[in-house]
Chain A
Amino acid sequence: MDTISTDVVIIGAGGAGLRAAIALAETDPTLRIALISKVYPMRSHTCAAEGGAAGVIKSDDSFDLHFDDTVGGGDWLSDQDCVEYFIHEAPKELLQLEHWGCPWNREADGSVAVRPFGGMKKKRTWFAADKSGFHILHTLFQTSLQFPSIIRYDEYYALDLLVDDGRCQGVTALEMRSGELRQFHAKSVIIAGGGAGRMFPFSTNGAIKTGDGMAMAYRAGAPLKDMEFVQYHPTGLPNTGSLLTEACRGEGGILVNKNGRRFLQDYGMGPETPVGKPQLKTMELGPRDRVSQSIWHEIQKGNAVSTPWGECVLLDMRHLGEKYIDERLPLVRELCASYLQVDIVKDPVPIRPVVHYMMGGISTNTKAATPIPGLFAAGECACVSLNGANRLGSNSLVELLVFGRRAALSAIEHMQGLPAANTAALNARAEQTQVRIRELFSRTGGTESMSGLRKEMMDTMEKNAGIYRTEEGLQEGVSKIHELRQRYGKVILTDKSNVFNTDLFQMLELGSMLDCAEAVIVGALARKESRGAHQRLDYVDRDDKKFLCHTMVHYQGLDVPRVDYLDVVITKSPPGVRDYSGDHK
């Protein structure tokens, strides 16, 4: 097995991974940086983000307001020291991107433009039409090309972390083209592997979002934090699950039920605001968890529109007019036209809530460090506890930047004065991965089909760990996922060849998803309260006495994982009431 010795390994070349790589290269040009990704960087799912990125820039805005919105939006499960750091770094990072060429939309005077977003008290979301994530990703990727010290390993599938002497010192990865296993030895390792929304059947997430990074760290002993908080985005296309950005509502789109009623006013987000004049932090600009939950209730009440893809409500943007739509929401128009054959200029679009984002992830602190020395994580795969129980739209893209950079700085700090690596021990660990892969190839006699197992997992997650959860459903889900994890050991590989064997990668991804799914569902079962995106029909209230804490799920091999808790850091904002009545109450 070839060994690649380097200073820092970054797993994942999405927004977070690229930001980390650039920060490393800029801070110390002598560092050797290996950037591993299972897809070419610009294919990373950051490219799908549409709406924008939040950072205080305008004179009517303040850091305190961004702080309050984030903490309240997160239902007080955010660590407030982390939020504090984040809000101050956010504008710097967004300006940095501007200096690197990101084509942000502009005001007439040439300054950057901002748009309103759900749950935000002020307009502070920077945007590049409705392709913000796309432009962020490409700006980062292209900027990274000028640094010779960033060596990319594109289409390398990272498998197992190499932990020795209590420190993370590398990773094994398969070169997808040749099927050859490589090991990377490094002083620091940064995971930026993205989310895991693919464990649900109906998701805005791309095929690559299978939680590999989370599972890798989890198996190596880092706990997964707050995994039960899975964000449903209110407005997904009912057939493909493609996202219709929150900017649809930010720019003035409204949600109506089959009777044409703007039903959000019936769920504590009223009174109704004038059509086409969205008001911040109320009605359509409520937070995602509340809006999605309201849609769920409307469907239960029979107020939904029936479509071939199930029950939907309608997103109406007709009043915005063609010119404005083409200027601000061209992608949305295109998506609806091609995938649903609806022209948003002429008709309302049916939408339904769709799995979108993992608030939970690898437990990290404000320095982006995991509990394993030498292992850092950033981006959606990490849970630095910025987003708490519900992420506000447009905070995530900035999180990638802020904590991607932070992870890089921490990685450099960690490298100072390290003892020499025990290469033999690392080789031995890497050999275990080789054995694991060989076993997959040599398995015989299994009866399980991979796509069958995957479907069972997805259906279980949707049925038992969806927008609303119950003790019974979660119990059932826990045993089902546990059973699937056992059966996973019997799946056989149909394709035994080496070169670009996607059958193999899908199999490995399924393994990652099952691990993450178990953490989600075990965490959800243990959390007997409703908070943010975690809603239980049997425990409808928030319970700050027992559950003002982070769920920590620890890997236990094939056994059911162990759960314990960690206190939330509260610095200045004690838990309060989430108010989305537009200052009317």
Chain B
Amino acid sequence: MTQLKQIRVQLEVLRYNPDTDTEAHFQHYDLTCPEEWVVLDALNKVKADIDPTLNFRWSCHMAVCGSCGMMINGEPKLSCHSFVRDYEGTVIRVEPLAHFPIERDLVTAPDDFMEKLKRVKPYIIRKDKKPISEGEYKQTPAQLMKFRQYSMCINCMLCYAACPEYGLTPDFIGPAALTMAHRYNQDSRDCGRAERQEVVATHEGVWECTFVGACSEVCPAHVDPASALQQMKITSSIDWIVEHLIPGGKSAGDTVSREKAGDIK
């Protein structure tokens, strides 16, 4: 049986305990582990064997639950998907996700994101509901592909930690939540775009985005929120023109959704 190469890992972890601290400070941990480990494994080893008071969230260890987002050397990352071999020979600096309040150590408060997610109405809105007994709404593979990428968001909030506009203007609805609005807008089963525009087309909505693109660069699920936001800027602009410049013009939201409401047969 071949043995795995062991490497030395030096972690510098931001610590903060609201019960005792007024400021955060870095703590150093030194350990040896197999080179195939991820940063999360190293943190777990610290917690089990060195310092049980270190706190962080995790669950799936397969980059799908979105719990374990952290700043690793200044980059928003899933710690279960950051390999220690990529940092060999350097100190790995681990901090809680930027732009969110630190509850304790690496644990942040995601309340703001959760509230914003809810505001964009991320669910199917229909004018007419057909009963289950009539079967599925038909949707072709092409129609599915139109939004599938945007449905892959694991709500890890790395994009919020990366987006400077969110950092500077915390009212910004932000990449993932807006992308979720887009995901439903693009779904052939949905008729709710006009409703979502009430949030999407506001100052705090897409218009706060200056297309930095950092969101898409850090997204571990390849959702590409930047693209969703740009597309929504275009549709929102067209809406505006129709509403304001075309006499008797209805917002595009209405027209589009009415078209979409027709089930393809």
Contacts and interface: CB of A to CB of B under 8 A. Distances in A.
A96 B141 CA distance: 19
Contacts, number: 169
A261 interface: no
A42 to B, nearest CB: 5
A497 B17 contact: yes
A48 B60 contact: yes
A324 interface: no
Interface stretch (B64-72, B201-209, B235-243, B248-256): B64-72
A53 to B, nearest CB: 14
Contacts of A96: 132
What is the predominant secondary structure among interface residues of chain B facing chain A?
loop
A108 interface: yes
B90 interface: no
Contacts of A242: 61-62
A111 B136 contact: yes
Contacts of A341: 36
Nearest to B118: A145
Nearest to A338: B81
B87 to A, nearest CB: 15
A442 B214 CA distance: 47
Contact of A108 (B123, B140, B148): B140
Question: Chain B CB within 10 Å — which of A111, A338, A340, A499 has the most?
Answer: A499
Given A106-B144, A131-B152, A308-B1, A98 B187 contact: no
Nearest to A327: B141
Given A101-B187, A142-B122, A95 B132 contact: yes
Interface stretch (B25-33, B49-57, B161-169, B223-231): B49-57
Residues of A in contact with B, size category:
35 or more
Contacts of A450: 52
Nearest to A96: B132
A335 B63 CA distance: 9
A99 B110 contact: no
B22 interface: no
B122 A111 contact: no
Given A40-B110, A101-B189, A339-B36, A499 B52 contact: no
A143 B60 contact: no
B154 A95 contact: no
Nearest to A49: B64
A573 interface: no
Interface in A97-150: 98-101, 103-112, 131, 134-135, 138, 142-143, 145-146
A258 interface: no
A48 B138 contact: no
12 contacts: A39-B67, A48-B60, A48-B65, A100-B124, A101-B187, A108-B140, A177-B109, A208-B59, A308-B1, A338-B83, A499-B19, A502-B55
Interface of B: 1-4, 17-20, 36, 47-49, 52-53, 55-67, 81, 83, 103-105, 107, 109-110, 114, 117-118, 121-124, 129-130, 132, 135-141, 143-144, 147-148, 151-155, 180, 184, 187, 189-190, 264
Interface of A: 39-40, 42-45, 47-48, 92, 95-96, 98-101, 103-112, 131, 134-135, 138, 142-143, 145-146, 154, 177, 206-208, 239-243, 306-308, 310, 331, 334-335, 338-341, 450-451, 494-495, 497-503
